[in-house]
Copies of this chain bind each other. A is one copy, B any other.
Amino acid sequence: MDDVAHVYTHTHRVRYRECDPMSVVYHTHYVDYFEMARTEAMRDLGLAYRTLEDDGIIMPVINVSVQYHAPAYYDDLLAIEAHFGQMPTVRVPIDYVVKRSDDDRRIASGHTDLCFMDADTRRPIRLPDRVHRAFASVLPT
């Protein structure tokens, strides 16, 4: 997570259905939290995922990892940060940090790599032009 060039923060209120009998957020939901932050970060760059799909482009997740640092509780407000570093080429690497808004406590961190695919052929493609331009507006090339 060196060389972070662009950070987008999405705020999420923890739902009751996301908490388990230990009264903490069940661990699998953090992968959904990452998706929320990523989607809103892309929208903020003018890359609403629905418009990519309309252009015949999909962005599958290649891998994901999560490290759990501290529990989050029901009704906590979480700040989910998506960190973008170098300019993506074939893969889009994104780091994530989840903090509790109240006390700034680091709850979880993680990483995903995404790629671009043609929705019809389901084959990898290089970074589409409009995606390249959008990332180039915030990342060093």
How many chain A residues have a CB neighbour from B under 8 Å? Answer: 35
Q: Determine if A15 and B36 form an interchain contact, defined as CB atoms under 8 angstroms apart.
A: yes
Task: Write the A28-53 contact mask toward B (1 if CB under 8 angstroms, else 0).
Answer: 10011001100100000000111001
A23 proximity list for chain B (CB < 8 A): 21
Q: Determine if A17 and B21 form an interchain contact, defined as CB atoms under 8 angstroms apart.
A: no
**Would you mind naming 20 contact pairs between A and B with Cβ atoms under 8 Å apart?**
A15-B32, A15-B36, A15-B39, A16-B20, A16-B26, A17-B20, A17-B35, A19-B21, A21-B23, A22-B119, A27-B61, A27-B64, A31-B31, A48-B75, A60-B68, A62-B67, A63-B66, A63-B67, A64-B65, A71-B122
Q: Report which A residues bind B (CB closer than 8 A).
A: 15-17, 19-23, 26-28, 31-32, 35-36, 39, 48-50, 53, 58, 60-68, 71, 74-75, 119, 122
If A27-B61, A28-B28 are given as contacts, then 5 extra A-B residue pairs at C-beta distance below 8 Å, sorted by A number, are A17-B26, A19-B21, A22-B60, A28-B32, A61-B68
